[in-house]
Amino acid sequence: MTAHADMPQPVFLIDTAAFKPDDEYKVDMEASLVSPYMQKYSPDSIEFMRRINARSGLGPTETYLPHGINPAKFGLDTPRTDLTAAEEECRMTTVSAVKELLAKTGLEPSGIDILITTCSIYSPTPSIASMLVNAFRMRKDVQSYSLGGMGCANGVVGMSLVRDMLQAHPNANVLFVTTEVTSPAFYPGMDRARQVTNLLFRMGACAVLFSNNASWSSRIKYTLRYNERVHIGASDAAYNAIHYTPDEDGINGVFLGKDVVTEASRALTRAIRTIGPKVLSTHEKLRYAHSAVTRWVGRKTGSPAGNEPEYVPTFSGSLDHFLIHAGGAKVLDGLGKALRLTEKDLEPSRAVLFEYGNVSSSSTWYTLGYVESVRGVKRGDRIMQIGVGSGIKCGVNIWQATRDIGDVHRAWEHRVAPEHAAAAATTKSQRCFVDTSGLARSHMFSRAVFVLLMALLVGTLHVYMLLNDAQKGAQS
């Protein structure tokens, strides 16, 4: 399914906020391995985990976990994976991200028309969306949707729902909240294919505001140009590559198969075949066409050219920035190879992996924050956002910047020179004085017009029915 640039209603990205945990939640990977809790594992298992840590791409002391599932913190106690621990983590991450986003945009909770949340493993009742409605006292007519079980890809794939909601609702504000609650996903068993998730996944959340309301005007950062999603779950290999299931001892955990990268690359290839012609440079299109024609002629004539490999175009020179799901070092390597990206293209995603780990559906939004904070974005820049996850699903979004952007996000302040951060803060504070009350007035005006039209319609129908009854009476 593809969305094109000529969508009836525009999809504007107003701003984002990524949760940055306090330093007390940082994980010392080596300290965790030598903690009392880990004595239950054999030396071979500990060495296996140490090798995974070294190859993972995560920083040795940079990423974050709740105390209840950080072995260096809970010592000999039992890991906290219950619903209470999960709710505490979820509230900490998502509420903090939403608070930061509302403060940045100046939007009141009452200005949110549609709320969409996504979290794969933790799916409580009431839902995460309901939790946020309650926490922020949102309107009684807010439309809320809580998505579960959709994995790491849904921070990108979920844009299809955001897009469709904005097509159906003019002048609407959509809040999209992404997270993966790590507490219930912690695996205390012995299966190595499930132990890997403990070493890769970390706590985090992002809140993103979208709109099609022109009242945002100068605040708009990006416009969605294309949106593509692919699901290859009809294949058993793809469907079974990632799943949350019990091991042989009945202990639940997220299973990561050895063919995850292969299946993810296969899904990405399908998506790129649709997106590629819309975004590749003319030079790359011509090179691909020349390769295809040469191979076709070679097969027809029996020449060696018919056996040459298909030309794989490079997206590196056709787009300006890349937000790749930071699922792990191997995932980034595989996706980068499939798109023929340079290390410069992959560096923002590697930075997210190093400092925040695999934050699931939030990873590409953390990457966008890094790009804006550290590199800056120029008006007209095109950004490719790629998410892959269980299913296997793949989503690709193409964004275009509507203005120059140099915001310094809280999650990346430590990566920015103090003088640049101060200048960006001044610019942002000036922009925050934009009167967002106009958004509320616009919303109330639209509702008033709707009520008036409905009243007129009902009145007209009533008069019509009276006249019709009168005419029937006269005829009788």
Give the CA count within 13 Å in the CB-facing half-sphere of 395.
24
* Catalytic site positions: 152, 231, 321, 325, 358
Residues contacting residue 324 through CB under 8 Å, at least 6 positions apart: 332, 335, 336, 341, 346, 349, 364, 367, 386
C-alpha 13/C-alpha 381 separation (Å) is: 14
Name the burial class of residue 262, with classes exposed (0-12), middle (13-18) and buried (19+) by CB atoms within 10 angstroms of its CB.
middle
21, 94 in Cβ contact below 8 A? no
**Where do we find the tokens 């504000």?**
173
Would you state the torsion angle of the CA atoms of residues 257, 263, 265, 267, taken in this order, to the nearest 10 degrees? -140
Residue by residue, DSSP assigns 310-363 as PP----TTT-SEEEE--S-HHHHHHHHHHHT--HHHHHHHHHHHHHH-B-GGGH
Q: Which two tokens stand for residue 243?
A: 């799943």
How far is CA 96 from each of CA 19, 81, 129, 132, rounded to the nearest angstrom? 6, 21, 14, 11
CA 101 to chain centre: 15
